[in-house]
Structure 1
């Protein structure tokens, strides 16, 4: 558990800039670039990484640990397509922060979700995570081929599904959490909720200081 906490602290120290440059800032030009960028974004962005990991833990206790994360994957891909095709969703970063706080809080509480409510929560927040992933695609749409978008979606779907399943496996088999109320399962919720709280405070810090002290 000490190693888990150290890893979490290291992830929280990552800057937002790193989370959005899996190719070191280079544009995506090929199918392989799309896959690499799709794999890199969720891994380098601690907000997405923490959400997908805690989602895997929550999915574990739905009784359908392989199926439940698919709701997130489908909605996430829809969010990418919405933004890449010129659409937009409101308050994306704020909702992502709220997603960590909400799902982390549910896991921290020791409550096991059934499949339907879990799928609704996963999909609802997945749409906004996907919208964040769609930003790099929209930013370079003019020079991007369809193969890049396909590779990007494949990379995103594969790595996030793998992370979710791996997180559930670690909690179940290495941390010996056989039920949602187990301490080690709830600690994973605490980590995610803490990250969400950090992001929420960061989001309100600027407006709050402006309101108090002026521009």
Structure 2
């Protein structure tokens, strides 16, 4: 968990110190900042990544670490596929459904570990694919990939920290309900 919080703080420090790079390596800095911003500023990425962390907070420490590692690898693989021009069918619907389903999983305290992890893997493929398809032009793709991966993992880590803090109580179920409502709005929108 300390690693995830360190990654979040490192990412935030890069965002807030960006003016120091104003005249050096525009492509690399722009790619990193675009990558860091994409999951944080896009509500369709922010909510499900936090929800993945919230749901996985109840897992054993080793399983939580494996889940975060798996999310990072799947994000990168699906983003590379998107960059190569492969778009998953119904990608935007899959992203919206991820918010709805993860919210319901939290709201109803669904704890079937294998089912939950498989759903998170599926949702991660949709999100990673969107990162690759929406990659900005004219920036370093390597730093863009690094940025969105760090930001995504930091959001999952923040969700895990929040989930452990809420400790499976009513607040966690209520947050799931809010996420499910947001997901329903996204699906219908």
Going from structure 1 to structure 2, the CA distance change for 1:150 and 1:69 (only over 3 Å counts) comes to same
* Displacement of 1:80: 1.1
Partner of 1:186: 173
Where does structure 1 lack aligned partners over 5 or more consecutive residues? 1-27, 203-215
Equivalent residue for 1:36?
Answer: 33
User: Counterpart of 1:103?
Assistant: 102
Q: Which residue of 2 aligns with 1:83?
A: 82
The whole-number CA distance in structure 1 between the counterparts of 2:98 and 2:150 is 21
- Runs of 4+ in structure 1 off by over 4 angstroms are none
Unaligned ranges ≥5, structure 2: 1-24
After TM superposition, the score normalised by the length of structure 2 is 0.79
Distance in 2, Cα, partners of 1:170 & 1:69:
15
User: Of Structure 1 and Structure 2, which has the larger fraction of its residues in helix?
Assistant: 2
Q: May I ask how many residue pairs the two structures share in their alignment? A: 163
Q: 1:76-132 CA distances to partner (integer Å, 9 max, x unpaired)?
A: 211211111122211111111111111111111012232x33332111111111121
TM-score normalized with structure 1 length:
0.70
- Select the structure with the greater relative contact order (CA < 8 A; seq sep ≥ 6): 2
Please give the root-mean-square deviation of Cα atoms over the aligned residues, in Å: 1.9
CA distance in 2 between partners of 1:46 and 1:86 (Å): 24
Distance change (3 Å), C-alpha of 1:60 and 1:113: farther
In 1, the alpha carbon distance for the partners of 2:68 and 2:54 equals 10
The equivalent residue for 1:57 is 54
Q: Which residue in 2 is equivalent to 1:154?
A: 146
